[in-house]
Amino acid sequence: MSESSSIDSVLKETRTFAPPAAFTAQANIRSEEQYNTMWQRAKDDPAGFWGDLAREHLHWFRPFDTVLEGEMPETRWFSGGTINASYNCLDRHLETERRNKAAIIWEGEPGDTRVLRYQDLHREVCRFANVLKGLGVEKGDRITLYMPMIPELTIAMLACARIGAVHSIIFGGFSADAVADRNNDAQARIVITADGGWRRGREVPLKAAVDAALEKSPTVEKVVVVRRTGGEVDMVPDRDFWWHELTEGASADCDAVEVDAEHPLFILYTSGSTGKPKGVLHSTAGYLLGTTMTTQWVFDLKEDDTYWCTADIGWITGHSYITYGPLSNGATVVMYEGAPNWPDEGRFWEIVEKYRVSIFYTAPTAIRAFIKWGNQWPEKYDLSSLRLLGTVGEPINPEAWMWYREVIGQERCPIVDTWWQTETGGIMISPLPGITATKPGSCGRPLPGVVPDIVSSDGTSLPANEGGLLVMRQPWPHMLRTLYGDHERFKQVYFSEIPGCYFAGDGARRDEDGYIWVMGRVDDVINVSGHRLSTMEIESALVAHERVAEAAVVGFPHEIKGEGIFCFVTLKDGEGDEALQQELTQHVRDQIGALATPDRVRFAPALPKTRSGKIMRRLLRDIAAGRESVQDTTTLEDLSVLARLRDEEE
Ligand code: PRX
């Protein structure tokens, strides 16, 4: 946690935008009264509220006996029920006219396209599920997916779910070491990858990284490789197999396995503030219910929508709002492999025009990049099919929000600024597009079933407009169940700060209308381009270099990325120069991945520390941001260190 418990809120925004009447008239949630009734019922009678939705919106092999047992952090949902996520995303649609509806409209970066109807997706998932069984995979086994954004990624996810195996997806931008760490933590038996993927016209070599990772991942027995780029790969006999060869003769008949409601669906690693990544584990039924309902409420999904979430499936946004939420609802999902600026900066808008996308969900970091590239790009294309816009991943600055509304939404589309986390599984706080008068920069009010509070560090509720810690007072079905292999850490990280509450790690305030304004994270995690990175992990990477004695990493405001990475480095001996700065930058990239590339490396003779030896990050943050520090320095061991750092920065 931060060194200080109060958080100053400086943002003051007074503009509001009511939803267009025509939107409200057709919306899934269309009146304030409807929202209030749902929210109140979910608060007073969560079991009744969620139980009804679970019966109505999910397919159960065996109905559950109870809806909710226990209290946070030890909750169990839908005990006695058996279910399958793949069945819910596929089989149940085959009994309806959705069977010939497009499930995935995919576009590769080079411009190749594929459309998979629900029937096609079902067949491919069944075949690959049989392949996994043939490789000896059993219910509960962990499978690592390290893949580009191609349909085989969705197929592999749903194939795991179909046989009760637990997928652990690692974003393709992570390095071999990161893959090895996650393989080992999850004790993965199989890795599914591709030769490579396309990014800005270049091949990202994935299989080569898996080969390096496997030198340090003793639990992995087999590797399945999709041929995507056609690049050179080494195939190790009896360990590595081509996807297309294995699936060629595989049967398309594969019953979905019945699993308990609480059976783990997936593990997704996310950065923690103590270095080691946290294996966030989600359940099957609760997670599926949460993503199914929030997709309907927040994105106002309709049968004829064409829905595009631009996230990578390697992050939670892609799990919940490219795969499980939309497919469980039988939606048509657009999926794009590559970069937004390839072959030029108009690529996203070209895709919107080409497929007549109606719902578009992206991140503030992307919006800031679009603004920088200029209005001429979106203006070249017909964006009239859009009816709803969303953002996720970090606070959006009001000016970027206004640009999104005016230039992309053409003042016609409501914007949903959705607050949630890897751990929450689905959207928690968001405008409801048919009823909420939106305020640029605020994520609005809690969804039904979500009971947040803003508290001081001793757990007292704070009045309107006072900044504090954002906590949840009531459990919800799609919350994480544990950190894989470390239940104590799970309890300690999320439930020990404010007793009886889930603490999200974010600071926020609630305004006089009950709207939440998230102010960012209060611990040592930085948010680069909407992705959470642990400063500790970057520090560990730096210290692993032979010349580095100590390192402190902080975020600083960055025009495009939201936060940039600023590294303060103390050397064992000698002076640092530009060559060493570059070497260290490359070293961090190699160790963690391109996403963690430092923006600045500063050599410092010493780091400012408290008397107990804790690095005073708040002071370093001020220096990195070029601010005159107003922090309390009474516990600082050596004030001259600080003065030196500040002088050099000016
Ligand atoms: O700080 C909040 C920020 O992203 C964090 C969660 O990151 P992650 O688990 O990687 O999931 C990102 C996608 C769900 C949160 O603790 N965050 C996410 N959405 C918003 C946000 N901050 C402000 N406004 C948002 N809409």
**Dihedral sign computed on CA atoms, order 422, 516, 528, 228:** positive
Using CB distances shorter than 6 Å, the residues near ligand 1 are 270, 316-317, 392-395, 417-422, 443, 504-506, 518, 520-521, 527, 531-532
pLDDT at residue number 634: 47
Lowest mean per-residue pLDDT among 249-263, 295-309, 400-414, 612-626: 612-626
Atom 15 in ligand 1: which residue has the minimum CA distance?
Answer: 421
Do 133 and 257 meet the contact criterion of CB atoms below 8 Å apart? no
Question: Is residue 6 very low, low, confident or very high in pLDDT (cuts 50, 70, 90)?
Answer: very low
pLDDT in tens, 571-606: 988 889 999 999 999 999 988 888 889 999 999 888
- Helix (H/G/I), strand (E/B), else coil: 516: strand
Atom 25 in ligand 1: which residue has the minimum CA distance?
Answer: 419
Lowest mean per-residue pLDDT among 51-65, 240-254, 588-602, 621-635: 621-635
Distance 420 CA to ligand 1 centre (A): 5
Ligand 1 atom, smallest distance to 417 CA: 26
Question: Is residue 641 very low, low, confident or very high in pLDDT (cuts 50, 70, 90)?
Answer: low
pLDDT reading at 9 higher than 60: no
Distance 430 CA to ligand 1 centre (A): 12
Do 415 and 431 meet the contact criterion of CB atoms below 8 Å apart? yes
pLDDT in tens, 90-127: 999 999 999 999 999 999 999 999 999 999 999 999 99
Which residues, at least 6 apart from 238, have a Cβ–Cβ distance to it below 8 Å? none
Rounded to whole angstroms, the Cα distance separating 66 from 76 reads 9
421, 515, 516, 531, best to mutate for ligand 1 pocket (most atoms within 8 Å of CB): 421
Domains annotated for the chain, with CATH where assigned, are: 21-508 (3.40.50.12780), 525-649 (3.30.300.30)
Distance 46 CA to ligand 1 centre (A): 25
pLDDT in tens, 530-562: 887 777 778 878 888 989 888 889 999 998 888
Distance 24 CA to ligand 1 centre (A): 27
Lowest mean per-residue pLDDT among 71-80, 152-161, 319-328, 593-602: 593-602
pLDDT at residue number 159: 99
Distance 422 CA to ligand 1 centre (A): 8
Question: Mean pLDDT throughout 21-50?
Answer: 98
Rounded to whole angstroms, the Cα distance separating 80 from 54 reads 13
Question: Mean pLDDT throughout 356-369?
Answer: 93
pLDDT reading at 191 higher than 70: yes
Question: Mean pLDDT throughout 15-44?
Answer: 97
- Phi, psi at residue 70, to the nearest 5°? 85, 180
Antiparallel, parallel or unpaired: β 502-510 and 468-472:
antiparallel
pLDDT at residue number 647: 59
Atom 24 in ligand 1: which residue has the minimum CA distance?
Answer: 395
- Tokens 């392949």 — which residue? 131
pLDDT reading at 354 higher than 60: yes
**Dihedral sign computed on CA atoms, order 435, 438, 442, 443:** positive
**Element (DSSP H or E) covering residue 6:** none
Distance 490 CA to ligand 1 centre (A): 19
pLDDT at residue number 2: 36
Question: Mean pLDDT throughout 340-349?
Answer: 97
pLDDT reading at 134 higher than 90: yes
Question: Mean pLDDT throughout 37-60?
Answer: 98
